[in-house]
Each structure stands twice: as C-alpha cells, then as structure tokens.
Amino acid sequence: MGKLHDRLAEQAPALRDKIRSVVAEHGGAVVSEVTVSQVFGGMRGVKGLVCDTSVVGPDKGLVVRGIPIADLKKRLPEEIFYLLCTGELPNAEALASLQQELRQRSQVPSYVWNILKALPADTHPMAMFSTAILSMERESVFRKAYSEGMQKAEYWEPALEDALRLLAVLPGVAAGIYRIHTRKGEPLPPNPKLDWGADFAAMLGLPDPTGGFRDLMKLFLTLHCDHEGGNVSAFTCHTVGSALSDPFYAVSAGMNGLAGPLHGLANQECLHFVLGVRNKYHGVPTDDQLRDYVWETLNSGRVIPGYGHAVLRVTDPRFTALHEFGDRVCRDDVMFRIVDRLFNITPQVLKEQGKVKDPWPNVDAVSGSLLYLFGLTEFEYYTVLFGVSRALGMCSQLVLNRLLGTPITRPKSVSTEWLIKAASGARVPATQGGSK
C-alpha cells in the first residue's frame, strides 16, 4: 500500500466523526432556501452538496484545499491529487510513492486500443475517451469487492485502487486517442522516467524542442484539476458514484458531461472563435474591428466562448496563469495577441450588452490558443486534455465520498403544477409523487 492510502487510513476516523457530529449537532439547521427561479434555473446557487476537495469563490476563483490555484501553478498534477485527497501537499517520500504507484498501473490494455481503432473515424475524441474508460470497467476492484460482500467502511480502499488505475492509465489512453484520431501513428508507450504530466506530453508525440509544450501541459493539467462539486462533470460523476457504481462507470459518465459545449467543450469553441477572427482579418485586427466582431457575434444570438461563468465574478485565476505563461513564451504570436486583445475588449462589450452576470474570461479563453501554438492544432481533441486533468478531481471526490459513506444522491423533483400552486400560496402536499 502506498503513502496516500496510509495517510487516508489515518485521516478516516476523524473525518467520519466530524461528519457524524456535524449532523448530530446541526442536522436541523437551514443553510439554503430555493426560489422558483432557481428551480427552473439549473439550481444555480442552491447549497445542497458537500465538496471538500475545492471551492470556487465568486471573487477568488478556484481554491484547492484552502490554497488558491495561483499558488499551486508550479506543482505537479500528481501532487495536486494527493492534496485533493488528503488536504496536504505530499512530502518527497509521499510524492515518490504516489508516482511509483501510478507507474506500476500505467500499462494500457491492448483491448482498449482494439476498441478505439474499431470506432468510426468521425467519432469525437471525447466519445472515444469515455468509451475507453468504460471498457476498462471489467478491471474494477471496487465492483469485485462489493460483489464479494465488502463492508461499508472498506469501500474507499478499492475505490482508491480503481482511482489509481484510472489516473495511471488515462495519460496513455488520452495520448493514444490523439494519435489514432489524427492518424499520427500507433500509440506510444509510457516512459517510467517521466512524471505524470511530462509523460502525457511525450506520449502525444508532438515535437517539443524547447520543452515548452511539456511545461504547458503540466500547467494545464494542474490548473484544470477540480472545480468544486456542482459543475456538470463533477456532479454527474458524484451522482453515478453515489449509486456505488464503480469509478470506471462514474468517471466515464462525468466525461460525458464534460463533453458539452457549455462546459468542457468550450475551449474547442474558443479556439474556433479566435481562428475565425484571425481568418477574417488575416492577422490581428484593430481594436475597433475586434469590438465589431464581438458585437456581431452577440447580435447573431451566439455566446462569446471563454467568457462568463456560472459561479465566478472575476477574471478566472486559471486564465491569468495561462495568460502569464503565454506572455512569457509567445507574446508575439498572432493567436496569442488576438486572445490578449479580446481580453481587453470583450468584458467591456459584455458589460454594455448587460445580460451576462460575469463578463470576465474563464480558463478556456486562452488555453486553446496556447495548445495551437505548440502544434496541437486539432481542437476537437482539447476537451480530452481537460478530461485527463479533471479526472484528478473526480477520482479524489469519489474516494472521499466512499470513505465518508456518502449516501445515494436523490433530490426531490416536483411538477410545474405543484410549483405554481406552492408559489401562489395554495396548500400543497409536502411530498408529491416520487420514485426510487
């Protein structure tokens, strides 16, 4: 057993006691109320979930276990995983132990390649990614242990084993998907001398003479690791896992949510947008031209990808971290300059339009352009990169929820008629309908 397992085993009794006593002492306290607008508005702002791996403050952005993401940008993604799980950054010994555990589990089974190669050529890389994860469900140690009658207090241990297997194999799977999908050649094997992020960058097989692409990938994987519990992919993964479906089922489901254009697909859409600007103006437009372009997009009923957020109300610190990286390594690149000008102009236009709650850029406004610069030009693939990183958050949340014995998710839905009656003050039954 690795150091991560041992630390979680040490922490488990106190964590469980804490939840038990919170519920015992404050179980009846009201922490959120729900308006009709929220019921019809995607439950925005309703506090009905617990997630201790990270929080996203409207004015702070992502804070991982109490540490702002900007302070973690030099950390390795695997250090972040340890942090997400335990609330502590690993010391050198714990990091080496985790890296060793990942290396031992990193071999991609040949049947995964056979499945991926058998899919039609126009299959989206995210569908390939989710399929690959699901195809490995047969390996689940959690499912096997559950069917053999494991006790509830033990759930987290095989969940951690599945999580480590998944995280170990995902860089190889994702890089192989890139190579198969773009017909760049056979998947490349992992290199045990490299860390998780560097190995992923190497297995993509792109030329990287300066090491800039490797550094970008490591930063990208760290920045996208987690975004509290209510976003579509985290919540989906959590819900599926709450049924005690094993981490392969749950993470695959989370990836299907990440594939949506309002969530993880946005970085692909952003690059599309920036390329549209470049192609229309044959380079970097003037600020006036760019302002017109943004207005034209809005007036045609489309969103400006990479701007706005369901929770944030400031510039996303992950955008700032990647923007700083771009400023350091490719300040004069046409695409980066367009991203930079858009950052100066778009918030003002969105404010003038007056619809969005958050006119500021999110992380997707810049990431695609940097990837493009380093030769990763197939933007259909970008959400898979996001998925590799976000698996860190999904897996840590799953392990902690099994450790805490979190019950199955089952909020109550009501009919529109019930809501109308309730909102107009008519007496309505406290419960209505309901199903398992």
The residues binding ligand AMX (CB under 6 A) are 262-264, 266, 298, 303-310, 355-358, 362, 364
| 140 or 397: CB nearest ligand AMX | 397
DSSP 190: P
DSSP code for 162: H
User: Least CB distance from residue 277 to ligand AMX, whole Å?
Assistant: 15
Amino acid at 153: A
CA distance 302 to 296: 9
Which class for 417: exposed (0-12), middle (13-18), buried (19 or more C-beta within 10 A)?
exposed
Smallest gap from residue 130 Cβ to ligand AMX (A) = 17
Read off φ and ψ for residue 148, nearest 5 degrees: -90, 5
Residue (241 or 305) nearer to ligand AMX, CB = 305
CB of residue 151 to ligand AMX, shortest distance in Å: 37
Collect all residues with Cβ–Cβ distance below 8 Å to 65 and sequence separation of at least 6: 52, 53, 54, 83, 84, 87, 88
Residues present in the chain in total: 436
The enclosing H or E element of 292 equals helix 287-299
Min separation Cβ 430 and ligand AMX, Å: 30
Q: Which is nearer to ligand AMX, 214 or 323 (CB)?
A: 323
The gap from C-alpha 105 to its chain's centroid, in whole angstroms, comes to: 22
Residue 87 Cβ vs ligand AMX, minimum distance, rounded to whole Å: 25
Greatest extent of the chain over all pairs of C-alpha atoms, in Å: 71
Taking the least distance from each CB to ligand AMX, the nearer of 132 and 265 is 265
Is residue 263 part of the annotated active site? The answer reads yes
Chain centroid to CA 327 = 25
Choice between 206 and 225, CB closer to ligand AMX: 225
Cβ-contact 270, 306 below 8 angstroms: yes
Closest distance between ligand AMX and the C-beta of residue 206, in Å?
23
Instruction: Specify the residue, 6 or 352, whose C-beta has the smaller distance to ligand AMX.
Output: 352
Residues 6+ apart with CB under 8 A from 285: 277, 293, 338, 341
Select which of 162, 199, 358, 364 is catalytic: 364
For this structure, is 288 an active site residue?
no
Cβ neighbourhood burial of 303 (10 Å; 0-12, 13-18, 19+)? middle
From the candidates 309, 316, 323, 358, which is the catalytic residue?
A: 309
CA distance 292 to 281: 12
Query: Is 5 noted as a catalytic residue in this protein?
Result: no
Q: Which of 208, 263, 316, 323 is catalytic?
A: 263
Among all residues, which ones are annotated catalytic? 263, 309, 364
